[in-house]
Amino acid sequence: MSEKPRPELVTDGFPGKRRPRWVELATSADHKDLGRILIGGSLGFLFIALVELLLMRLQLAIPENTFLSPVAFNRMLSLYGTSAIFLFAIPFALGFFYYAAPLQIGARGTALPRLGQIGVALWVAGATVLYAGFLFTPSEAGINPLAPLTELAFLSNNGVDAWATATGLAVLGFVFVAIDLLTTLRNLRAPGMAWRRVPVFSWAATVCSWLLLVIGPVLLAALTMLMIDRNYDGIFFADGSGGAPLLWQHLSWIFFSGSYMLILIFAFGAISEIVAAFAGRPLLNRGVVMGSMVAIAVLGTLAWMQNMLTAPIGIGWMYFAMLMSLALIVPFGLIVFNLIATMFGGALRMRAPLLFALGAISSISIGLAAEIDHSMVAAAWQLKNTTDATAATHFALVGGAVFGGFAALHFWFPKMTGRTMGENLARISFWTMGAGLLLAFVPLFLAGGEQGQVIDAYKFYDGNGVNGYNLIASIGTLVLAAGIVMTLVNAILSRVNGPEAGHDPWGGDSLEWFTLSPPEPHNFDVLPDVRSAHPMRDIRDAIAHRDSRTDAPAHESQPVA
Amino acid sequence: MAPHSPGTDQISTLLTIGFVAAAIVVVAINVALVVAVRKYRAGRGAAPSPAGSGRRVQFRVGAVLTAFAAAIFILSVVFTGKARETPSSGPAGLAAAKTGPLTIKATGQQWLWRYDYPNGAFSYYKLVVPVDTAVKLELLSTDVVHTWDVPDLSGKRDAVPGKTNKVVFSVDEEGTYEGQSATLSGQAYAAMQTAVEAVSPQAYEDFLKQQKADIETAQDRVVDLIQHGEVP
C-alpha cells in the first residue's frame, strides 16, 4: 500500500525548526522566562554594583586617598546606588515573585503576559541607558540625588538626564510587572484558593505589587518634573519663582521608603516559606504574618519623612514620621516572633536556603534596630547622614535583598533549573558573607555613631579617629564581595552540574512543588482542588493515606486531594 | 561627640536610650535564633509538633511590642523637646543676648559657610561666638542643599534654598569645635568644613569690630582701585 501524503497531519518535527534558545528567551512572554531574565539580570547587576562599591571602599581605605577623583567617586556612588536599588534589589524581588507566585497559586500563566513582557523590556532598556551613560558622563548627584543639585545650573552635563531616564524606564517597567502580577493573583488562583489560603510568598507578591502601584507613579512624576526642569526651563525644584527644592525630597523619599519596605516584605515572604518547609511544620499564625505585611507597606511608606528629620519641616511632621517608623516595630516584631515560634518545636533541616534565611533575619534585625535610633527625632539629628546610616541601611537591605534573596535563590533554584545548588559552596559562601557583612558595616556604625563621619564623602581626614574603622570596613567589603561571588559562581556551575532535584526537593507546602522542575510552559497538567493553606502537604498526606488505605479503617482516612 | 551645649546633652542621653533599645532588639532576636537552631535541629529532638501558639499569645506579643514602641516614642518626644529649646544665656555670656538669643545668619554655598553677624560684619568658614551665650543660627543656602553639622554643639540641620532653618546652641567652654557639611553637594563636598570658635564676650566684641573695620578697609580699597581704572 502506497503512503498517501496527508498534509493535514503533521507529526514529524512539530512545531518545525525551533529558534535559538536566547531568541526564545528574549521574545517569550512566559512568566517563568521573564522571571529568569529578571533574576539572572539582577544578579549580574549585583556583581557590577559590588565592583563599584569596592572601588569606593578602596578610595576610603586610607585618609585623604587620591585613588579616585571627587568626580569619579561621585559617579561611582550614583551608579552604585542606582544599580543596587533599581537594577538589583527591586527586580530581584520581582523576578522571584514573577516566577514563583503564579506557580504557587496554581495558575497556568499570567493574566497579562504581554504587559509583563513590556515591563521587563523597559527595565532592560533602563539598565542599558544607565550604563550607556559611561559613554558620555554618568550622574554625579548621589544615590537619591537631592534637588536642586540635580538642576541644570549645578550639573550641566547629561549624567542626570541619563539617570532620570534610566530610573524612569525601570520604574515604569516595575509598575507594568506589578499590574500583571496583581491581575494574575486576583483572577487566576486555583479552584478553592481563597485569599486566606494563598501562600505567604504570593501574598507578599500581592502586597508588594500594590505598593509599587502606589509609589512607582510618585517617583515617575518626580522624574518627569526633573526632566522638565532640566530640559524645558521648568521651575519645579528650582529655588525662586515658586519652585520648591523640598518637593523632590518628599516625592523621592515616598518611593525610596516604600521600596525599602518592598524589599523587606519580599524577604520575609521568602523566609516564611523557607522556615515552614525546613522546620517541617506550617507557619504559625499566617494570618498575623500576612496582616503584618500590609501594615509594613502602609506604615513604612507613610514614614517617608523619617529621611527628612533635618530638613526645614515642622516639628509636628517630624513626630508624625517618628510615630509611623516606630509603629513598624509591631508588625516586624510579630513576623519575626512567628517565624521563630515556627522554628521552636520544629525539626530544622539546616540546608542552604534555611541558613541564608536565618542570616537574613539576623542581618535585618541589626539594620532595623539601628533604624529605631534613626527614627528618634533628636537622635536622628546626630546620626543622620553619618556612616551610621550607611551601616543601618546596608544591614537591613543586604539582609533583605542579598541574604533573603539568596535564600529564595537556593530555595527555588531546583524548580527553575531542575538542579540543586552545591551545598558545600553555599555554606562557605554564607559564612564568608556573614563575616564580611559584620566586618564591613559594624566599623561604619562606630565611625558614624561615635565620630560622626559623614556619608557620601569622597575622602575623610586624618586625625578624626576613623582611620582604623574605614580600613576594616574596606577589608570587610572585600570579604563580603568574595562571599557573594561564590554564590554567583555556585549558581552558574549548578545550572549544569548540580545534583538533580526532583519536583519537590524540600517538601514544600505550596503548589509550585506539584509541577515538574523546571515546569512545562503551561505550568500544570492538572490542578488539584485547594482545601487548605498548604495544598502540597495535603497531597502528600493523601498519597500516604492511599498507600496504607488497606490497613487503616475507612473512617480514619481522609483523602483531601 | 562630646556635648558642649545643653541641646547636645539631651541628644547624648537620647542616643544612649536608643542604643539600649537597639541592643535589646538585636540580642533578643539573635539569641532566639541561636537557641532555635541548637535545640530544634532535625535528628536531635522529636518530630515537628503540630501545635502552635494561639491568638492570646499574639495579642500579648503585640501588646509588648506596642508598649516598647510607645515608650521609645514618648522618651524621644520628651528629649527632643528639651533638645530644641532655646537655651538661656548664662552670667558669663554676652550682655546684649540676655533677653533673646544672639542671631547670626549662616549661609551655605558650594563649598563654604558664610556667617553674617548682627553688626554687618561677616566671616567665611569660621564662626566666632561668645561663650555661655544663647546663639541662634538662621540657615539658608544660595545654591544646593547643605547640612550644617558641628556634632559637639548641635544636631544637624539642612540649609535649603528658599527655606530658613534654625539651629540653637550655647557653648559652655571656650575652644574651637570642628564641623563638616553632611549632604552631598557636588565635587568639593568632602572639603566643605566649618569651625565654631567660642571666645569670651569681650573677645567676641573685639573680633566683630576688627572684622567690620577690615571689611570696610578692603571695600574702600577696591572702590579706590576701580575709580583709578585698575581692576583688583
How many angstroms away from the CA of A34 is the closest CA of chain B? 35
Q: Is A60 helix (H, G, I), strand (E, B) or coil?
A: coil
DSSP-assigned letters across all residues of B177-212: EEEE--S--STTGGG-EEEEEEE-HHHHHHHHHHHH
pLDDT of residue A558: 46
Spatial neighbors of A460 by CB under 8 A, at least 6 apart, are A60, A63, A64, A453, A466, A470, B190
How many angstroms away from the CA of B5 is the closest CA of chain A? 13
Q: Does A463 touch chain B (CB under 8 A)?
A: no
**Neighboring chain B residues of A310 at a CB cutoff of 8 Å:** 147, 155-158
Q: Which of B1, B22, B190 has its CB closest to that of A457?
A: B190
CB contact under 8 A, B190 and A341: no
Q: Is B165 helix (H, G, I), strand (E, B) or coil?
A: strand
> Structure pTM?
0.94
Q: Where do the domains of chain B lie?
A: 6-38+54-83, 95-227
CB contact under 8 A, B76 and A378: yes
**Residues 2-31, chain A: which have Cβ within 8 Å of B?**
none
C-alpha closest to that of B92 among B12, B197, B171, B9? B171
- Nearest residue of A to residue B143, measured between CA atoms: A148
CB contact under 8 A, A310 and B42: no
- Nearest residue of B to residue A370, measured between CA atoms: B22
Spatial neighbors of A195 by CB under 8 A, at least 6 apart, are A203
CB contact under 8 A, B61 and A452: no
**Residues 181-210, chain B: which have Cβ within 8 Å of A?**
181-190
Q: Which of A240, A342, A361 has its CB closest to that of B33?
A: A361
- Nearest residue of A to residue B33, measured between CA atoms: A340
Q: Does B2 touch chain A (CB under 8 A)?
A: no
Name residue A454's beta-bridge partners.
A386
**Neighboring chain A residues of B36 at a CB cutoff of 8 Å:** 340, 343-344, 348
pLDDT of residue A156: 86
Q: How far apart are CA A433 and CA A487, in angstroms?
A: 10
Q: Are A508 and A277 in contact (CB under 8 A)?
A: yes
Q: How far apart are CA B111 and CA B163, in angstroms?
A: 19
Which of B1, B14, B26, B29 is most worth mutating to test chain A (most A CB atoms within 10 A of its CB)?
B29
CATH of domain B95-227: 2.60.40.420
Residue A517 or B74, more confident: B74
**Residues 133-152, chain B: which have Cβ within 8 Å of A?**
139, 143-145, 147, 149, 151
CB contact under 8 A, A368 and B11: no
pLDDT of residue A9: 56
**Neighboring chain B residues of A153 at a CB cutoff of 8 Å:** 143
CB contact under 8 A, A279 and B157: no
- What is the residue whose three cell numbers read 539658608? B140
Q: How far apart are CA A313 and CA A317, in angstroms?
A: 7
Element (H, E) at A513: none
**Residues 159-198, chain A: which have Cβ within 8 Å of B?**
none
CB contact under 8 A, B184 and A77: yes
**Neighboring chain A residues of B153 at a CB cutoff of 8 Å:** none
DSSP β-ladder status, B193-199 and B175-180: antiparallel
**Residues 196-225, chain A: which have Cβ within 8 Å of B?**
none
CB contact under 8 A, B48 and A454: no
CB contact under 8 A, B23 and A244: no
How many angstroms away from the CA of A171 is the closest CA of chain B? 24
CB contact under 8 A, A365 and B185: no
pLDDT of residue A547: 65
CATH of domain A33-522: 1.20.210.10
CB contact under 8 A, A329 and B68: yes
Which of A237, A342, A348, A350 is most worth mutating to test chain B (most B CB atoms within 10 A of its CB)?
A348
CB contact under 8 A, A358 and B33: yes
DSSP β-ladder status, B157-159 and B122-124: unpaired
Based on its alpha-carbon atoms, the radius of gyration of chain B, rounded to whole angstroms, reads: 26
Q: Provide the residue type at A54 as one letter.
A: L
Beta-carbon count within 10 A of B128 CB? 21
What cell does A324 get?
A: 509611623
Q: Does A554 touch chain B (CB under 8 A)?
A: no
Q: Does B91 touch chain A (CB under 8 A)?
A: no
CB contact under 8 A, A456 and B184: yes
Q: Where do the domains of chain A lie?
A: 33-522, 532-561
The total number of residues shown for chain B amounts to 232
Q: Which of A322, A345, A365 has its CB closest to that of B76?
A: A322
Element (H, E) at A394: helix A387-397
- Nearest residue of A to residue B156, measured between CA atoms: A381
How many angstroms away from the CA of B192 is the closest CA of chain A? 10
CB contact under 8 A, A146 and B76: no
CB contact under 8 A, A323 and B73: yes
How many angstroms away from the CA of A47 is the closest CA of chain B? 25
Q: Is B119 helix (H, G, I), strand (E, B) or coil?
A: coil
| Whether the predicted pLDDT of B162 surpasses 80 | yes
CB contact under 8 A, B48 and A279: yes
CB contact under 8 A, A334 and B62: yes
Which of B14, B76, B138 is most worth mutating to test chain A (most A CB atoms within 10 A of its CB)?
B76
Q: Are A55 and A76 in contact (CB under 8 A)?
A: yes
- Nearest residue of A to residue B149, measured between CA atoms: A382
pLDDT of residue A561: 47
Count chain A–chain B contacts defined by CB atoms under 8 A: 248
pLDDT of residue B96: 80
Residues of chain A with pLDDT under 70: 1-17, 240-241, 547-561
